[in-house]
Chain A
């Protein structure tokens, strides 16, 4: 049969996480369909239809789906259960919320945070903050997966495939949307950025994050990240948190400034291609995973790095 990928989008733009989920889905079954659920999201569907490897896009257009609430969305996907062998979503906060609900409706044990597809029924996933990699075989006849986006490259674009409407049956209104507050940022998105500049407790304050770290991030065209300690201390908002229970990133270059390197933080960044650590404590565990370590006061080192970069 086929595999259905749930598109991640904001109503206007298809998220890059979808293209990564498609790459994983193809390994489960080459007949990949993408479901775009929302209200007036034709542009998103058109974009999804151009992803290489996608055979067809299903579009469910209904006001009840506009806010991506889990209850109607899970009902929609589970209602397509007969038609698919596998259901795949990126392990974003929306994928993580809706897919277990789908799995329970289909009486399937979900496999979370897949980092490799070994066979259509066999998957690798990290447990214990990535300290152990588990390979599991699913005995369920249908599979429900969320995939770790940093482990799969995005499917490229090609010529457009057909888009078909799909019927949506409204259910009871269990939840309603009240508000959304999105952090405005001109910086690249954390999980897909090529370079991430991350700060920890060593930054000392929200002001220092902005005054010391942000200029380096901007000079590098990098995303800004943070350790849980920095988030807990209120320096930055939680959506910048890199770690076991925050964002998982694997950029080409990860620069950790004033981050000691707790295992929960390492879980979120240790697959980065090159890791740089700047910390004044030479014993900080972050140095054990860093390709380049600089034992220095970050308040001196970070501006120096910026100054040493070519202008522009």
Chain B
């Protein structure tokens, strides 16, 4: 089977972002960029299926500016076979991302598409579900385990209150959660090897897709921060203050 994995270049999740002074956008100057951590888990899973000879090829796709090539190289260094950059400098929403991935999927004919469950920048948690709908495929969100069995894949999903296991007819779209696997670090030889792996480049127009913004950003604000309160000296003082001062204990 062939696997396609979608990866997004995002701000390092450990960085606290700030607004530009005029509030018109996020100040990304000098910030470390990285692959969305959930997408790393998706790449890792695809590469493992390749190593188990369940998958014959792993294609990684990213949508974004030239710099997104770095993210594709990271995925190639982890073990993906080839990359596809759909190049756009425009801000892009999940609905358009899904349309572009759908177009790529129609051309590439993967049996399985893996994505991270959400990107840690816009926190939308939409792309995989939208892509599955547009392709008319089954979807398995928040996967913590998956097993390919013939023409189907069994997915265990992290749901509120526990877990749910579903069987999806292939081809299918799966979005992955934290506990699916522990992504590997690329070794130096593999990083060198990845430099020679092919990355194709396309434009949205090549697929006949115009990237449009359905949402107008009216305003961006940093939320009013919480102020640090007081330090208490003992557990007894804490309970007393919670009761008399904060009124949250009866």
Contact = CB atoms under 8 A, between A and B. Distances in A.
Main secondary structure of the interface of B (DSSP, over half): mixed
Contact of A289 (B122, B137, B226, B249): B226
Main secondary structure of the interface of A (DSSP, over half): mixed
A301 B178 contact: no
Contact of A244 (B98, B123, B172, B242): B123
User: Which among A102, A110, A288 has the highest number of chain B CB atoms within 10 Å?
Assistant: A110
A230 to B, nearest CB: 13
Interface in A141-166: none
A195 B169 CA distance: 42
A22 to B, nearest CB: 18
Contacts of B124: 110, 112
Interface in B185-211: none
B220 A139 contact: no
A130 B16 CA distance: 10
Interface in B66-118: 93-95, 98, 117-118
A94 B159 contact: yes
A100 interface: yes
Contacts of A290: 228-229
A71 B139 contact: yes
Given A104-B133, A290-B228, A127 B249 contact: no
A176 B167 contact: yes
Contact of B219 (A93, A135, A262): A135
B248 A129 contact: no
A177 B138 CA distance: 12
Interface string A214-231: 000000100000001001
User: Which among A129, A176, A245, A304 has the highest number of chain B CB atoms within 10 Å?
Assistant: A245
B210 to A, nearest CB: 13
Contact of B95 (A103, A127, A175): A103
A128 B166 contact: no
A108 B99 CA distance: 12
Nearest to A245: B118
User: Which among B16, B140, B242 has the highest number of chain A CB atoms within 10 Å?
Assistant: B242
A175 to B, nearest CB: 4
A239 B246 contact: no
Interface in B1-45: 11, 13-14, 16-17, 19, 26, 38
Nearest to A182: B162
B52 interface: no
Contacts of A276: 238, 242
Interface stretch (A27-35, A45-53, A292-300): A292-300
Contacts of A309: 239, 249
B229 A139 contact: no
Contact residue range for chain A? 35 or more
A104 B140 contact: no
Given A132-B26, A264-B13, A305-B238, A183 B166 contact: no
A60 interface: no
Contacts of B167: 175-176, 178
B91 to A, nearest CB: 12
Contact of A137 (B154, B161, B216, B239): B216
Contacts of B216: 136-139
A104 B139 CA distance: 13
Interface of A: 69-71, 74, 92-94, 96-105, 107-113, 122, 126-140, 173-183, 189, 191, 195, 220, 228, 231-232, 237-239, 244-245, 247, 252-253, 262-264, 270, 273-276, 287-296, 301, 304-305, 307-310
Interface of B: 11, 13-14, 16-17, 19, 26, 38, 93-95, 98, 117-118, 120-134, 137-142, 144, 154, 157-169, 172, 177-179, 213-223, 225-226, 228-232, 234-236, 238-242, 246, 248-250
Given A92-B160, A183-B162, 4 more contacts: A101-B139, A137-B215, A175-B167, A177-B165
8 contacts: A100-B128, A174-B169, A175-B140, A181-B162, A263-B16, A289-B225, A294-B232, A305-B239
